[in-house]
Amino acid sequence: MSELAAADPGRVVAVAPTAAGERRLTARALDAASDRYARRLLEHGVRRHDLVTVSLPNGLDMIVVCAAVWKAGATPQPVSPGLTPAERADVVAVARPAAVVGFEADGVPSLAGGDALGEVAQDPAWLDGADTGPLPDTFARSWKAPTSSGSTGRPKVVMATAPALLDPERPVAQFLPLRAVQLVSGPLTHSATFTYAFRGLLTGHALVILPRFEERAVLAAIERYGVTWALLVPTMLHRLLRLPPAEREAARVRTLQTVLHLGSPCAPALKRAVLDWLGPERVVEVYAGSESNGLTMIRGDEWLARPGSVGRPIAGTQVRVLREDGSTAAPGETGQVWLRRGTEPAYRYVGAPGRRRPDGWDTLGDLGHVDADGWLWLADRADDVIVRGGEKVYPVEVERVLEEHPAVRSALAFGVPDAELGQRIQAVADVAGAPISGEDLRAFAAGRLGAARSPERVRVVHEPVRDDAGKARRSSPAHMT
């Protein structure tokens, strides 16, 4: 941050549109505000390598606070503000942070985060170095410790093994440019959004930070700020493509050079529509997890030649697919996907066992297959597969069919216990106010999937069934009522 400020103090490094206009953050203000907040953290007992749990909404204060955590020599642990108090307490009990920001925790120093930038903005003297006191010239052994999405159970803390060091003159990934105007529309507390936003910031990106994803706000921000790079998940893409063509005409997104999508499998019909809208040369898909234990990538033009694939391994990653007995699956045979990237682990779980084997192979728990040329296709998560009367049903297949209905903004399928069949298939669909019944949607799905693979019940709701990172918990009781 200090180097950014010294090189070009007046450069706007982040902007947050608001109802009243916008808030802007210059490199100089970020350096001054994060210096001051780092001193507050040190005064509250934060020391090198400590965790600091940060639970703030999207905005400039989140940027300042996390920068301050690094300056204090500690590791930011982003946690969604949407967690319940009990879930936050569970995370704090496992992580044992030195301080928390944005909420109260028993027995832990609790700091507010909403004034991280506000105090500096209200007192220009801080920009002139009025705040004195040494800051440690140090760095944490881990640069981030996000919690997992919790989509498959209780959230885990994923401690990165990479230190809080970065060369600002080198791109951090082949699909992340060194300079860009980056749109941030997903939650900064989610691992992928956090990673690409902050790594982009530190290599010269200007961030355009929206409070949350909203289709029209995204298009307006791209057009207004000349966004050149954006991370979007399939749920976001689906919602954008539901807008009338006149609202998403090509001229509005002409500045976009790259859209990266990840987070969940993208339905082939949706992917093809995105490529038709933006052009295949501007769309990149990556398969990876919070654990950074490996990744694959596929460009839009490559996808058109292999519809449905999530790419081939990059950055030293190896991929293999194993059967349930541990033997290697044949090309085209579905099994559990395993990744290996280097000899040293890229993460460690705090408070939970990992799946990484001594030989370096690791899995995110996904099912899929590899073809004879090394391209990977995903089916679903192993934990989410529904077994109905001995037949395996992948929830993502049900969800894709429901989302083909023009009234459905997003859908979620899951299994519920059944004494005779083992599990029954049910689903919940967000129709965003459309006048359609669950029975209509059930019939729509049955006509395309057949009776054995379609949900016996579809519950209609009028709010998103996934968060802004595209994640949801199929095991959540709220989906089963």
Residue whose pair of structure tokens reads 């995204």 in the numeric block:
218
How many Cβ atoms sit within 10 Å of the Cβ of residue 216? 11
For the chain, residues classed under CATH 3.30.300.30 are 385-479
Q: Do the Cβ atoms of 80 and 190 come closer than 8 Å?
A: yes
What pLDDT is attached to residue 155?
64
Q: What is the per-residue pLDDT for 290?
A: 79
CB 479 within 8 A of CB 428: yes
| Domain span(s) for CATH 2.30.38.10 in the chain | 262-382
What's the CA gap between 367 and 285, in Å, rounded? 18
Would you say residue 82 has pLDDT above 90? Answer: no
Please, which pLDDT band fits residue 154 given cuts at 50, 70 and 90?
low
Q: What is the pLDDT of residues 350-409, one digit of tens each?
A: 878 888 888 889 998 889 999 999 999 998 777 788 888 777 888 888 998 999 999 999
Residue located via tokens 């001051």: 36
Predicted TM-score (pTM) of this structure: 0.85
H or E, element range at 75? strand 75-78
**Tokens 């216990």 sit at which residue?**
417
Distance CA 111, CA 358 (A): 40
Residue 151 has a pLDDT of: 45
Q: What is the mean pLDDT of the chain?
A: 88
Give CA separation, 447 vs 204, 292, 379, 393, in Å: 51, 40, 21, 16
Cβ pair 16, 1 in contact under 8 A: no
Residue 12: band (very low, low, confident or very high) from pLDDT cuts 50, 70, 90: very high
**d(Cα 73, Cα 103) in Å, to the nearest integer?**
22
* CA separation for the pair 408, 436 (Å, rounded): 9
> Tokens in use for 203?
């290599």
Beta strand 229-232 with 181-184 is parallel
What phi and psi values does residue 323 have, to the nearest 5 degrees?
A: -75, 175
Amino acid at 235: T
Task: Report the alpha-carbon distance of residue 442 to residue 190 in Å, rounded.
Answer: 32
| DSSP for 315-370, written as a single string | TTEEEEEE-TTSPBPPTT--EEEEEEESSS-SEEEESS-----TTS-B--SEEEEE
Local structure of 437: helix, strand or coil: coil
Task: Convert the pLDDT of each residue in 293-309 to its tens digit.
Answer: 899 999 999 999 999 99
Q: Using the predicted structure, report yes or no on whether residue 127 has a pLDDT greater than 80.
A: no
pLDDT of residue 166: 86
- Tokens 């997890």 sit at which residue? 289
Has residue 182 got a pLDDT over 90? yes
Instruction: Report helix, strand or coil for 418.
Output: strand
Q: Residue 102 pLDDT > 60, yes or no?
A: yes
pLDDT band (50, 70, 90) for residue 481: very low
Q: Is the pLDDT of residue 126 over 60?
A: no
Torsions phi, psi for 215 (to 5 deg): -55, -50
Residue 354 pLDDT: 80
Top-confidence residue, 480 or 383: 383
Q: Can you say whether residue 374 is alpha, beta or left, with left for phi > 0 and alpha for psi between -120 and 50 degrees? A: left
In this predicted structure, the answer to whether residue 461 has a pLDDT above a threshold of 50 is yes
Does residue 333 register a pLDDT over 80? yes
pLDDT at 116: 67
pLDDT at position 186 is 93
Q: Give the residue-averaged pLDDT of 141-168.
A: 80
Residues with Cβ < 8 Å from 417, sequence gap 6 or more?
423, 424
Q: For 262-382, which CATH superfamily applies?
A: Luciferase; Domain 3 (2.30.38.10)
Quote the percentage of the chain above a pLDDT of 90. Answer: 63
What is the per-residue DSSP string for 221-258?
A: HHHHHT--EEEE-HHHHHHHHTS-GGGG-GGGGTT--E
The pLDDT, as a whole number, for residue 470 is: 74
Determine the distance from the C-alpha atom of residue 410 to the mean position of all C-alpha atoms in its chain, rounded to a whole number.
17
Comparing C-alpha atoms, which of 166, 197, 163 is closest to residue 180? 197
Tokens in use for 126? 């801080």
The 3 state secondary structure assigned to 84-119 is CHHHHHHHHHHHCCCEEECCCCCCCCEECCCCCCHH
pLDDT tens-digit map of 249-283: 999 999 999 999 987 778 888 999 999 999 999 99
pLDDT of residue 477: 41
Range 16-22 average pLDDT? 87
Q: Which of 75, 42, 58 is nearest to 157 (CA)?
A: 75
| In contact, 95 and 157? CB cutoff 8 Å | yes
pLDDT digits (tens, 9 = 90+) for 218-252: 999 999 999 999 999 988 999 999 999 999 999 99
The yes-or-no verdict on residue 187 having pLDDT over 90 is yes
Q: Sorting pLDDT into bands at 50, 70 and 90, what band is 128? A: low
Please give the C-alpha separations between residue 477 and each of 101, 383, 415, 474, in angstroms, as whole numbers.
29, 16, 12, 8
What kind of fold does domain 385-479 have according to CATH? GMP Synthetase; Chain A, domain 3 (3.30.300)
